[in-house]
Structure 1
Amino acid sequence: MHLKTTLLGTALALAVAPAAQADEGMWMPSQLPEIGPQLRAAGYQGDPAGLADLTRAPLNAVVKVGGATGAFVSGEGLVLTNHHVAFGVIQYNSNPQRDLIQDGYVAADRSQELPANPDFRLRVTTGFEKVTGKVLAAARGKTGRAYYDAVDAAGKALVAECEREAGMRCSVANMFYGSDFYLVKQLELRDVRLVYAPPRAIGNYGDEVDNFMWPRHSGDFTVLRAYVGPDGKPADYARDNKPYVPPAHLQVASQGVKEGDFVMLAGYPGITYRHRTAAEFADQVQWRLPASVAVMRQLQGVIEDAGKADRQAAIRYASQLQSLKNGIKRYSGELDGLRRSDAAAVRRKDEAAMLDWLGTQPDAAVLRPQIDAAAQRIAEGSATRERDLLFALMRSQTQLMRSALTLQRRAHEHAKPDAERETGYQQRDEDLIAGMLRQAQRRYDPAVEKRLLSALLGRYQQLPEAQRVAEFDAAFGRTPAALSAALDRIYAGTRLGEEAQRLRWLDAAPADLAKTDDALLRLAAQLQPALLRIEAQQKAREGDLLRLRPAYMQALVAYRRQQGRAVYPDANATLRVSYGKVTPLKARDAVNYAPLTSTAGIVEKDTGTEPFDAPKPLLDAIAKGDYAGYLDPASGTMPVNFLSNLDTTGGNSGSPVLNAKGELVGLNFDSNWEAVSASWMFDPRYKRAIHVDMRYMRWLMDKVYPAPRLLRELGVPAE
């Protein structure tokens, strides 16, 4: 077998990669015609070739919602996604006087549908075009930062051209780690409203106790509606906007699923790492996961302690706390799974065998030096990994600090032509920046933010000298006492806690921003040179990895193809399709799980105390037993959740689960504890996805928290 060393050769090899077993693979829609025979053999009754066309049903009904997935379920813009995906929308509309988190919400009519937070977006994919040659044309022959900048500039030019069409949000997706690039075109809908949300004790029944666990009994769903302006084009929220008419919508199935039934899922999985190097596997197990869990637990403790004494703070940080708890549980499960499967050793053995095989191939002399160089650049990134983790969390886990850093970076970028500005700070990003600044008001408490920063920067102060940064030491000192005094002074001297002030600085000239006496803005200006310097170093390393990783991928793909193993690109937030069956789980010795749960389990778990405090209307409805039209015929019970062996990861939350006819039978919301590590290593024995059964959703909307108007719109009238 001769390995082609050109990127074109690599792309052709990837395009004809053989299919995996039915339960493995997050397939690009363009790959589905190739695996058509496997899809049909598994039970799919539609045309596999039709799934490659993103402008046709059912895939054109699947949308990106925030950082996850949803689907249109009516011709008037109704969108179904998870309760936890829309949790920020629910929290945004909540306060101590009207707590939608606790009580849920049912809009009486369209005039009562509530606006989402300003930066919440819904995106409909309308195009997916390979642009590898255009992206890499100017990069060839370059290295390091120059390679990165050439790829970045080409991508921005393609995005700018794509976004000349009003209402479009475009991006360039990197497939197989720099081997291929695709231009993704999405219609961006900015007016999204809350229509129906169950109470917390249904939408998040079991909370972190049950998170990533089976059996589950959660009604993790929420209904939103997308709106457009009177002219039918994307628009900001306005009372006279009208519902968006989607190109297609999914039909909610009238019949449910049973064990062994074919199911298929379409969604936007976030990131997987299955094609990473053995060294990266080892780093994930030995340092990154344990370190991330430790610092996130500390932040969780800060928010929980504050919320015990202040209900307003608890509401403002509810979404952030939920995200932290989910991340902790996920990372802990991932670490447990990777250790249980000895993933680092397995990957090391597999990589060694691949490199030995490569040594027998004609192109080894070309590919092996690039593979070794990539390994060196990966290793260099470990030198500052602790600092980099803390600095990333400093931005993502704060509101005012994040706002100040964003405002100063925006001023810095606006001195450049728009095409040369950093991604996230171009003209196309202005609405998102403004939305972030507006919503900060409802997610901020000064005492909580200072404690969060104290936790993160306190850890920074303990780092070895080689990871210290002069600007940070000058701003915060080198002792806990100095840090505390600095934070008190800074937050006492800022007015960024006022929305009007944040928006004022958004509109201010950079020269005026430079002269501000606001303490937090001055701090951000002081830190910015260090953050830019660190970013430049990271981009130089990333540029080399963009250039060098394709050699590793070319060898790995060829090696796995000759073994008949699955070859699909790691997930990267682009639309993917998985397929499999409703499947039980043998979790460990003598522990076997059935694939469907019922309302009986809700009662069995109920303690009356959070997180197992099922609402009285739900318990009363269960006791009444009015399940006509919803019962599972095989068991005679009212289904709640079900298991499948579909291949999923983070970002697949809210993904629609379809039956063999393409009808909506479930809503993905979780994975089992034994399979959380599937983002790195797929194990068919344990990988399961957890879904809300649509029969449970329909029953809740019919008998428990009635919404007959919505059921009619969904095409499934009350029984």
Structure 2
Amino acid sequence: MKKRLVGLCLALVLLIPPVARANEGMWFLMHIARLNYRDMQKLGLQLTAEEIYSINNSSLKDAVVQFNGGCTAELISRDGLLLTNHHCGYGAIAELSTPENNYLRDGFWAKTRDQELKPKSLFVRFFIRMDDVTQRILSKVNNSMTEEERDRIIREEIAKIERENSEGGKYVVSVRSFYEGNEYYYFVYQDYSDVRLVGTPPESIGKFGGDTDNWEWPRHTGDFSLFRVYAGPDNQPAAYSKANVPFKPKHFFPISLAGIKEGDFAMILGYPGRTNRWLPSAGVQQNVSYAYPAWVEGSKLGMDVMKKYMDKDDAVRLMYATKYSQVANYWKNRQGMIDALTKHRTVATRQKQERIFQRWANKPENRELYGSVMADIQAYYDATNLKARHDNYLMTIFRTATLSIFPVRIKNSIDALLKADAERRNMLKERIFATIDEQYADMYMPLEEDVLAAQLALYSSKSAPYPIAPYIEELRKRTGDNFHPYVANALKASVFSSAERIKAVIELGDIALIEADPIYKISSALFEKYREETPEQKQLEAKYRRAFRLMVDGFRRANPNKAFYPDANSTLRLTYGTVRALPRDPRNDAARNYYTTLKGKIAKYKPGDEEFDLPKRLIDLYNARDFGQYADKAGFMPVNFLTDNDITGGNSGSPVLNAKGELIGCAFDGNIEAMAGDVIFDEKLQRTINVDIRYVLFIIDKFANAGHLLEEMEIRK
């Protein structure tokens, strides 16, 4: 009896994430029919599994694209019209803006197709199909191999699979590892690069609430923008041309004006970027105590320096708008992760689970393969805690200071140029010059000088006792913690002080001038330290990867009848749940705390405030109660709403669909109470924040007078 009870407890405790519970999970579409369909039906789904994912017929997957490699977007018309978040389109909107035509500040709406604007670099990726190649790949390797041997063989087999399925380059094929190398799948994609801006609200709507409201609920943000995919006459990808025509999708989402209520089925398809739900307790502890605090501190420093200059000059603000937004987003995210993981006592919980796992691993039949797994993992983190802190201070330099990384990249390009034959040299030189012009168009030297000096001081003073880059240590001994005078003088003497000076050196072909450059020396020293890997570190890393792979394998073997889902890694996933409220919040005027209203948005209005200002036209529409057909049945104008779907970064812009596969919203954020969602799923508090599709249409139609765009959508009342 006692033995049976212990066995039952063991099975229960081993059910750690990512074993799915209710709304938890980021699922492969090809597994929906087998793993999820019945559960989805119970929640209200009215579609078949084939209507969600089909290789041979059109399905929901055909209306979802990866947007520019880091977000998600969805097709909402038969003429290639795309809906995504404002913050996903932010970089393209900023690029197309000038101080005279500031589309970030004022918004933009193309009245005709000819007026739609093409950014320099923007693409969307369509998912064609996927398949399981686990057996094929893992049959080539065994546990007696070294990690180096294993990696080499797997890389070779992956290259073969990608060649076999690319159809001569027509498709992009990617083989990805899942469950820490225990499964492999290939994904076939098709990329379209002619993507044009169609419309965006002003950032006083699209970014309403700014950094203050980021990751917060209640939320009142119109976080959306519209783009269009163009193709050649054959509907295939084509380089930008005025002769291109709107792309004709296999499927696009009809739009529902019926509204939502608590408990309604909701599913999201998208490209979640990265989760770490298998992360061991020692890894969580390292992030909370070493890595994330350095990330937060370095990011905040970079933001403060950028903001100082952005506030003084609109042109500088446009230059750095995208970078600042990206840094600010992750700054708040990492601080929220520290707070949430600490509050949830995640380390202690996982330590308890790992002790139970260790008992399973110590059984005679498991000991040889799994017995030392947890000890090896702990040893790795004990040895790398200080390095993790150092590396995050170093990485925030690269993220915020262009002069810390650009000189190395240019030097590498010049090396390739000098080695090229005469036929290729002119082509390479033109490409390098174009890169230089593009980079310097987005650099304000007083800011770059300031942020580099400030970040060097932080890095050199806070990374100890882990050894910093030797050259930076030399400079610190000469300058103390004040790098500003040195960097100022170095930049005056540097060829990297202007695009013209770098081009002149390239024309001379004298690489020694670059190598002796004081700014290049800083960049090179930082980059060399970033790439540093001693034999001891390499061996430690290999031992850890093997141990982590076996830990995940062991947890799954201990629970053979449970449905697991893999960590997110920017591959297409589906998550399902319901429209679901949070506990009552006095800051929200809504009757139930699962939606917000335009009334609540107006209540936050602060004239002239960078984050909470509003356009007069929106206020006038509210005062006149001119909501058109987009108001809720109860009479209010909806803005945002909550679901309990399981998402993470990369899902930004994802379609939120009802039980019929109709579009009801666009996902754009999560709530700070469940900020630890990349590591743990909190089924009580974790929420997805979505912009209500009715608010999107209201802004397009009533605010922007762009009703012509609605004519190409399928809107269901």
1:586-597 to 2 correspondences below 5 Å: 586=583, 594-597=593-596
Deviation at 1:404, TM superposition (A): 2.7
Give the match for residue 356 of structure 2: 353
**Aligned position for 2:705:** 706
Q: Which stretch has the larger CA shift, 88-97 or 279-288? A: 279-288
Q: How far 1:78 moved relative to its partner? A: 1.3
**How big is each residue's C-alpha offset from its partner over 1:139-161, in whole Å with a ceiling of 9 and x where there is no partner?**
54443545444444544454455
For 1:77 and 1:368, the matched residues in 2 are separated by 54
Does the Cα contact within 8 Å between 2:468 and 2:529 map onto a contact in 1? no
What is the aligned partner in structure 2 of residue 469 from structure 1? Answer: 469
1:363 to 347, 363, 366: 366
Measure how far apart 1:43 and its partner are: 0.7
- Displacement of 1:709 in angstroms is 1.8
Change in Cα spacing, 1:227 to 1:623, as seen in structure 2 (3 Å) is same
Whether 2:381 is the aligned partner of 1:382: answer no
Give how far 1:434 is off. Answer: 9.7
Give the Å deviation of 1:582.
0.5
Aligned equivalent of 1:178, options 181, 188, 193: 181
Residue 272, structure 1, aligned to residue 271, structure 2: no
Q: AA paired with 2:46? A: Q
Q: Which amino acid aligns with 2:626?
A: D
Q: Which stretches in structure 2 are left out of the alignment for 5+ residues?
A: 1-16, 421-427
Deviation at 1:110, TM superposition (A): 1.5
| Closer, same or farther: CA 117–375 of 1 in aligned 2, 3 Å | farther
- The separation in 1 between residues aligned to 2:431 and 2:360, in whole angstroms, is 48
State the distance in 2 between where 1:61 and 1:585 align: 30
**In the alignment, structure 1 residue 48 sits paired with structure 2 residue 49:** yes
CA change 1:478–1:238 in 2 (3 A) is farther
Residues 588 and 623 from structure 1, CA distance in 2 versus in 1: closer, same or farther, beyond 3 angstroms? Answer: closer
Q: Deviations 1:260-309 (Å, cap 9, x if unpaired)?
A: 11010011111111111011111222222222211111111011111122
1:710 is paired with a residue of what secondary structure? helix
SS in 1 for 2:606: coil
Counterpart residue type for residue 623 of structure 2: A
1:193 paired residue among 188, 191, 196:
196
1:311-343 deviation per Cα after TM superposition (whole angstroms, max 9, x unaligned) = 221221111111122112222222222122111
User: 1:263 touches 1:581 (CA, 8 Å); kept in 2?
Assistant: yes
**One-letter code aligned to 1:203:** G
Q: CA RMSD in A?
A: 3.5
Q: Quote the Cα distance in structure 1 between the aligned partners of 2:109 and 2:622.
A: 20
Which residue is equivalent to 1:79? 82
Give, in whole Å, the separation in 2 of the partners of 1:413 and 1:353.
54
Amino acid at match of 2:456: L
Task: Report what 2:653 is aligned to.
Answer: 654
Within a 5 Å distance, the mapping from 1:17-36 to structure 2 comes to 20-34=20-34, 35-36=36-37
- Map of 1:397 onto structure 2: 400
Q: Percent identity?
A: 28
- CA separation of 1:134 and 1:489: change in aligned 2, threshold 3 A: farther
- Give me the whole-angstrom Cα distance separating, in 2, the residues matched to 1:164 and 1:471: 49
Q: CA deviation at 1:615?
A: 0.8
Match of 2:131 among 111, 129, 147: 129
Residues 22, 577 of structure 2: 8 Å contact kept = yes
Secondary structure of the residue that 1:272 maps to in structure 2? coil
Structure 1 distance, partners of 2:163, 2:476, is 40
Q: Please tell me whether the aligned partners of residues 144 and 542 of structure 1 are also in contact (alpha carbons under 8 angstroms).
A: no
1:574 aligns with 2:558: no
Tell me the amino acid that sits aligned with residue 704 of structure 1: F
User: What is the Cα deviation at residue 96 of structure 1?
Assistant: 1.5
Q: Which residue of 2 aligns with 1:37?
A: 38
Amino acid in the other structure paired with 1:558: R
Q: CA deviation at 1:80?
A: 0.7
Q: Secondary structure at the match of 2:398?
A: helix
Aligned residues: 686
Q: Deviations over 1:340-399 (max 9, x none)?
A: 211111121122222223334722332122443344334333241222113323333333
Partner of 1:614: 614
Bigger Cα displacement from structure 2, 185-194 vs 382-391: 382-391
CA apart distance, 1:604: 1.4
The whole-number CA distance in structure 2 between the counterparts of 1:435 and 1:65 is 25
User: Cα offset for 1:567?
Assistant: 1.9
Q: Structure 1 residues 487, 98: CA separation in 2 closer, same or farther (over 3 Å shift)?
A: same
Deviations 1:394-429 (A, max 9, x none): 333333543332344467789999xxxxxxxxxxx9
Matched, 1:290 2:287: no
Shift of 1:232: 4.1
The answer to whether the 8 A contact 2:214-2:329 is kept is yes
Offset at residue 712 of structure 1 (A): 0.8
Contact 1:167 1:233 in 2 (8 A): no
Comparing 381-390 with 598-607, greater Cα deviation is found at 381-390
**Is 1:222 equivalent to 2:242 in the alignment?**
no
Asked whether the 8 Å contact 2:665–2:692 carries over to 1, the reply is: yes
2:327 matches 1:328: no
Pair 1:207 & 2:204 matched: no
Q: Which amino acid aligns with 1:614?
A: L
CA contact (8 A) 1:68 1:653 kept: yes
Kept in 2, the 8 Å contact 1:285–1:344? The answer is no
Decide which of 237, 245, 261 is 1:234's aligned counterpart: 237
Q: Secondary structure at the match of 1:64?
A: strand
Distance 1:432 1:60, change over 3 A: farther
Of 317, 320, 343, the residue aligned with 1:317 is: 320
| Structure 1 stretch displaced more, 309-318 or 521-530 | 521-530
Partner of 2:627: 627
In 2 relative to 1, CA 243–147 (structure 1 residues): closer, same or farther, beyond 3 Å? Answer: same
Q: 1:603–1:619: 8 Å Cα contact kept in structure 2?
A: yes
One-letter amino acid of the counterpart of residue 666, structure 1: G
Confirm or deny: 8 A CA contact 1:88 1:117 kept in the other structure. Answer: no
* TM-score, with structure 1 as normaliser: 0.86
Question: In the TM superposition, what whole-angstrom CA distance separates every residue of 1:507-535 from its partner, at most 9, and x where no partner exists?
Answer: 999x8657757835566556655444349
109-118 or 643-652, which deviates more: 109-118
Give the whole-Å Cα distance in 2 for the aligned partners of 1:432 and 1:39. 51
Q: Indicate conservation of the 8 Å contact 1:678/1:687, yes or no.
A: yes
1:216 shift after superposition: 1.0
CA distance in 2, matches of 1:590, 1:599: 13
**What are the superposed Cα offsets for residues 623-643 of structure 1, whole Å, 9 maximum, x if unpaired?**
11122322222x321111110
The separation in 1 between residues aligned to 2:432 and 2:346, in whole angstroms, is 40
Amino acid at match of 1:390: Y
* Partner in structure 2 of residue 638 of structure 1: 637
* Amino acid corresponding to residue 59 of structure 2 in structure 1: A
After TM superposition, the structure 1 = structure 2 runs for residues 365-514 of structure 1, keeping only pairs within 5 Å, are 365-409=368-412, 439-462=438-461, 463-464=463-464, 466-473=466-473, 479-480=479-480, 483-494=483-494
CA deviations over 1:64-89 (Å, ceiling 9, x no partner): 11211111112222111000111101
Which residue pairs with 1:4 in the alignment? none
Given that 1:54 and 1:125 are in contact with CA atoms closer than 8 Å, whether structure 2 keeps it comes out as: no
Amino acid at match of 1:126: I
**Secondary structure at 1:184's aligned position in 2?**
strand
What's the offset of the Cα at 1:134? 5.0
Residue pair 2:27, 2:565 contacting (<8 A) in 1 also: yes
Alignment of 1:536-551 (within 5 A): 541-551=540-550
Moved more, 536-545 or 601-610: 536-545
Q: Distance in 1 between matches of 2:409 and 2:136?
A: 31
Quote how far apart the aligned CAs of 1:169 are. Answer: 3.0
In the alignment, structure 1 segments of 5+ residues that lack a partner are: 1-16, 418-428
Q: Which residue of 1 aligns with 2:582?
A: 585
Aligned equivalents of 2:79, 2:177: Cα separation in 1: 34
Residue of structure 1 in register with 2:423 after alignment: none
Distance apart, 1:163 and its partner CA: 4.7
Report the counterpart of residue 65 of structure 2 in structure 1.
63
Displacement after TM superposition at 1:25 (Å): 0.9
TM-score, with normalisation over the residues of structure 2?
A: 0.87
Q: Is the 8 A contact 1:330 1:676 kept in 2?
A: yes
Cα distance in 1 for partners of 2:136, 2:414 equals: 30
Amino acid at match of 1:567: F
> Do the aligned partners of 1:144 and 1:540 also contact (CA within 8 Å) in 2?
no
Whole-Å separation in 2 of the counterparts to 1:351 and 1:416: 53
CA distance in 2, matches of 1:702, 1:315: 27
